Structure 1
Amino acid sequence: MEKIITCIDGSAITTSVVNAGTWAAKKLDKTLTFLHTLEKKQQHGADDYSGAIGLGAQSKLLKEMTELDEQKSRLAVKLGDELLNSAATAARSSGVVNIEKAQRHGDIVDAIMSLEDQTRLIVIGRKGAEHEGDFKALGSHLETLLRKASDPVFVVPEQFVEPKSFMIAYDGRETADRALQKVIDGGLLHGIDCHLVSIKNNEPLLIDKFNSAAERLKDKGLNVTTAVLEGNINETLLRYQVENAIDLVVMGAFGHSKLRQFFVGSNTIKMLERIAVPLIVLR
């Protein structure tokens, strides 16, 4: 069974993530699975206080700290359950029938990857509670997830509205062709106005590939607007998105070699840091 894995953490962005997951589940008619993780944080470390207080006092304090940690863990589980129940209620009121709730201990990426064989789409906020108020900051696990996940990742900003248009950033490379095929086969973006946009580069036969890509989209019944532009990749794509009021952007992940990414950075991450609309990353 393919599922829409929707990751929630209780941060301010959670409502938008729930709305995005709900929209995707309804559009694809798939089970909506809300996932919440409890990441263990070291409370008191391994510091040695024996030089400052007596051993008896230290033992008593450590016992109290352990009991406090246990109490916090129980409360975290209860809060997680409430968060999952609230998300499920909101999704159900919006018309989603098949809903699952999952709470896991440990790393969020590990939890997502454990569900990989059941996943159709991963929905996650562009930043978590640790980065609230910082527009450019990405969730600490997001880049790791994008490098590991083989399924599409739907990255949601602070506000989500049902998209009426989307843009595919196409560069003629293998990752772009794979992303294009997933859009054609997937169904999530069918019925939405499509903008196919390319920035001139050194890719051989770019224009021929671009025209072929446009025809493939049109053959699937999509309403396609095309544009081949010049300039800095991220600046030009962002400007086109704003000027054309595009609601959602689709990109292939990490199209360059790891060595090139080390020196010039990844266009995928740069777009995530700056774009104000949802972005779907396809491998």
Structure 2
Amino acid sequence: MEHVLACIDASSYADSVCDLSAWASRRLQMPVELLHVVQRSDAVAARGDLSGAIGLGVKTSLMQELVQLEAADAKLKVERGRLLLEAGEQRLRDGGAFDVRTLHRHGGIVETILEREEGARVVVIGKRGASHEFATGHIGSKIERVVRASTRPVLVASRSYVEPQALVFAYDASPAAERALVRLVESPLFNGLPVTIVMADTENEAHRRALDDAAARLGVEREVTTTLERGKPEAVIARVVEQTPGAMLVMGAYGHSPIRTLIVGSTTTTMIRTVRVPVLLVR
């Protein structure tokens, strides 16, 4: 059965992930799978850092102590995860989620999310995890890895939740943008929400025609406006988002290859990093 996959950790983004997942569950009429992953610890690195150049007898004693501490830490992480899942499940149910099931896993965070997304309609994840929570102006490394590898739309939650009331669709007629447009047309997640289609490019007949065609595909029953403005995409899109109350940004994800991104940067990464609204990314 298709579901909304909500991924939480101990960061302050967990509440927003749950609230956004409940919203998606209500609109899609699908259950939520609430996932928390206890990440593997690097015991070898810990021993290397702590043992040092000390006497053999002391080192042996220290290794035993490390094993005990590691076991205690593992139990603490499991208990913390159980409490997180309980609180998240309650928040989802209070938010009107269609149904909720929880899943507590051990292993790699990214690998587990990619494994569990197989039956998901959408993956919901916070902009930053617990280890990067206060790195303002950045996104977590695991978030980018999930988005690049995922075959499902990824909904990135901002720190504070406001129910989406309108959509800003970043459109450039690329294959990724076309796939995002198909999602907008077909998915009940967006039913009834007004859409602003924004293109950051020069004003000419070809660009205007592409915008008008995209608006027409969204249908006459939906409130659709278009904006064509020359400038850097991240600046133009951010301005429209800021001027749209209750906005959710929808865009294609990573139109360029990872190698090109290392050289010239990525609009996708910039938008996730800078806007303070939910961002739905479609591969």
5+ residue gaps, structure 2: none
Q: Give, in whole Å, the separation in 1 of the partners of 2:203 and 2:112.
A: 39
- Letter of the 1:22 partner, please give it: A
Q: Give, in whole Å, the separation in 1 of the partners of 2:259 and 2:68.
A: 48
Stretch moving more, 257-266 or 62-71: 257-266
- Letter of the 2:253 partner, please give it: A
Q: Give, in whole Å, the separation in 1 of the partners of 2:84 and 2:265.
A: 36
Stretch moving more, 127-136 or 233-242: 127-136
Alignment match, 2:60: 59
The answer as to whether partners of 1:166 and 1:247 remain within 8 angstroms in 2 is yes
**Two-structure CA RMSD over aligned residues (Å):** 2.0
The answer as to whether partners of 2:37 and 2:108 remain within 8 angstroms in 1 is yes
Alignment match, 2:280: 280
- Letter of the 2:119 partner, please give it: Q
How many aligned positions are there? 281
Alignment match, 1:122: 123
Alignment match, 1:23: 23
Deviation at 1:239, TM superposition (A): 1.1
Structure that is richer in helix per residue: 2
Alignment match, 1:82: 83
Q: Give, in whole Å, the separation in 2 of the partners of 1:50 and 1:128.
A: 31
Q: Give, in whole Å, the separation in 2 of the partners of 1:196 and 1:48.
A: 55
The answer as to whether partners of 2:199 and 2:229 remain within 8 angstroms in 1 is yes
5+ residue gaps, structure 1: none
The answer as to whether partners of 2:30 and 2:98 remain within 8 angstroms in 1 is no
Deviation at 1:209, TM superposition (A): 2.2
- Aligned to 2:40, what secondary structure does the other structure show? coil
After TM superposition, list the pairs within 5 Å mapping 1:170-185 onto structure 2.
170-185=171-186
Q: Give, in whole Å, the separation in 2 of the partners of 1:242 and 1:51.
A: 56
- Deviations, residues 96-155 of structure 1 (Å, cap 9, x unaligned): 242111111122111111113211100000011122233212112011111100100000
Task: Give me the TM-score of the superposition, normalised by structure 1.
Answer: 0.93
Q: Give, in whole Å, the separation in 2 of the partners of 1:213 and 1:57.
A: 70
- Deviations, residues 20-59 of structure 1 (Å, cap 9, x unaligned): 1111111111110111011122252336948422x33322
Q: Give, in whole Å, the separation in 2 of the partners of 1:244 and 1:90.
A: 27
